[in-house]
Amino acid sequence: MEKKNIEWSKLGFDYIKTDYRFVAKYKDGAWDEGTLSKDAQVVMSESAAVLQYAQTVFEGMKAYTTADGKIVTFRPDLNAERMIQSAQRLEMPVYPKDKFIDAVCQTIKANAAYVPPYGSGATLYVRPYMFGSNAVIGVKPAEEYEFRVFVTPVGPYFKGGVKPLTICISDFDRAAPHGTGNIKAGLNYAMSLHPYMECHRKGYDENMYLDPATRTKVEETGGANFLFVTKDNKIVTPKSNSILPSITRRSLLYVAKEYLGLETEEREIYLDELGDFAECGLCGTAAVISPVGKVVLHDKEICFPSGMNDMGPTTKKLYETLTGIQMGSIKAPEGWIYEVC
Ligand SMILES: *Cc1c(COP(=O)(O)O)cnc(C)c1O
């Protein structure tokens, strides 16, 4: 297979149209077989449930080339399960797990020419999503849906080296205590755009959202979970039912325990203990971990000892171990790596 003529190392994180996408339709209470399509346009009613009432959920994952030249993807079963949880919360039909994995693999395989080569640092971002497509005007769930998967090649996250982030504590809340913070839905992102732009306008990289009930505990950013390293080298992540269960964070906790022999703990993390940590990172599919150097609350700054120049030593070990597992240079736990072709 001949690869597309793309300068892989120069890619950013932007949509590039690829050749095929998977499309399945739900009507009269059932999903059709689904098919690969060359048509990148979606056509639907002006009153579609997704357009009027934001009835849509999505997933984000990656495919990449391993050292021995195979195209693989990472733990798609967990994305399938999470999308089921998201869909149920928005009264959408479930797209079955085995069919989800099959659709993801079919789409990656059909676009194999866009999967960046091993060592380029670039990857193929995979975006499964589902939305209510028929016209609704009274508020109710749609009766017709589309499940789709498209892919787009994306560049290396740490282009020009690692640069620790400066995070500001947002005055806005991300999720209500019993709301939708734990599902991957466009609605959580729509409302985050204003706080995100505000934080950028003030010169910060990302927002740290607090628990909305008491505003004393750490939740997450708009699109990544927090991970902290204590001064005695224990890995701690926030426990809350209004944060999105990141697959990267769950994988890193496993790696910390089983590969690095570190103690791990999921617990409530209070704002006023931030100054006690040695390292801080953001975890998500895009970067795996991006180090945080500094957290700013109004006029107060909390600087982590790991500093503004590099990843902290434990963050780096976690990063190298998980990316090694993903790229095939370190033996993966059973069932983590799915071979596509
Ligand atoms: C997708 C997402 C994450 C990261 O999840 P991964 O499965 O690790 O990619 C974290 N927080 C939010 C709000 C997200 O939408």
Per-residue model confidence as pLDDT tens digits over 60-115: 999 999 989 999 999 999 999 999 999 999 999 999 999 999 999 999 999 999 99
Amino acid in the structure at residue 133: S
Quote the CA–CA distance of 22 and 111 in Å, as a whole number: 11
pLDDT tops 90 at residue 157? no
| H or E segment and range at residue 193 | helix 193-201
Tokens (6 digits) for 223: 């699109």
61 CA distance to ligand 1 centroid (A)? 10
- Give the model's pLDDT for residue 1: 79
- Give the model's pLDDT for residue 116: 97
Closest by CA to 58, choosing from 221, 223, 203, 196, is: 223
**Phi-psi map region of 163: left, alpha, beta (phi>0 left; psi -120 to 50 alpha):** beta
Residue nearest to atom 10 of ligand 1 (CA): 224
Quote the CA–CA distance of 227 and 157 in Å, as a whole number: 18
Residue 224 alpha carbon, nearest atom of ligand 1: 10
Give the pLDDT confidence of 253-284 residue by residue, as tens digits. Answer: 999 999 999 999 999 999 999 999 999 999 99
In this prediction, what percent of the chain has a pLDDT beyond 70? 100
Note the pTM of the prediction, 2 decimals. Answer: 0.97
Quote the CA–CA distance of 306 and 260 in Å, as a whole number: 19
pLDDT tier for residue 160 given thresholds of 50, 70 and 90: confident
Residue nearest to atom 15 of ligand 1 (CA): 223
Query: In whole numbers, what is the pLDDT of the chain averaged over residues?
Result: 96
Q: Which residue has the tokens 């970067």?
A: 287
Q: What are the b/e assignments for 273-301, b being 16+ CB within 10 Å?
A: ebeebbbbbbbbbbbbbbbbbbbbbeeee
Question: Of the residues 285, 290, 336, which should be mutated to test ligand 1's pocket, given the most ligand atoms within 8 Å of the CB?
Answer: 285
296 near 307, Cβ under 8 Å?
no
pLDDT tier for residue 244 given thresholds of 50, 70 and 90: very high
341 near 71, Cβ under 8 Å?
yes
Tokens (6 digits) for 226: 């927090």
Which range (159-168, 197-206, 314-323) has the least confidence? 159-168
* Helices 247-258 and 76-89, axial angle in degrees (round to 10): 140
56 CA distance to ligand 1 centroid (A)? 16
Give the pLDDT confidence of 292-339 residue by residue, as tens digits. Answer: 999 999 889 999 999 999 999 999 999 999 999 999 999 999 999 999
- Reply yes or no on whether 231 is catalytic: no
184 CA distance to ligand 1 centroid (A)? 7
Which range (6-10, 107-111, 126-130) has the least confidence? 6-10
283 CA distance to ligand 1 centroid (A)? 8
Which is catalytic among the residues 184, 217, 294, 317? Answer: 184
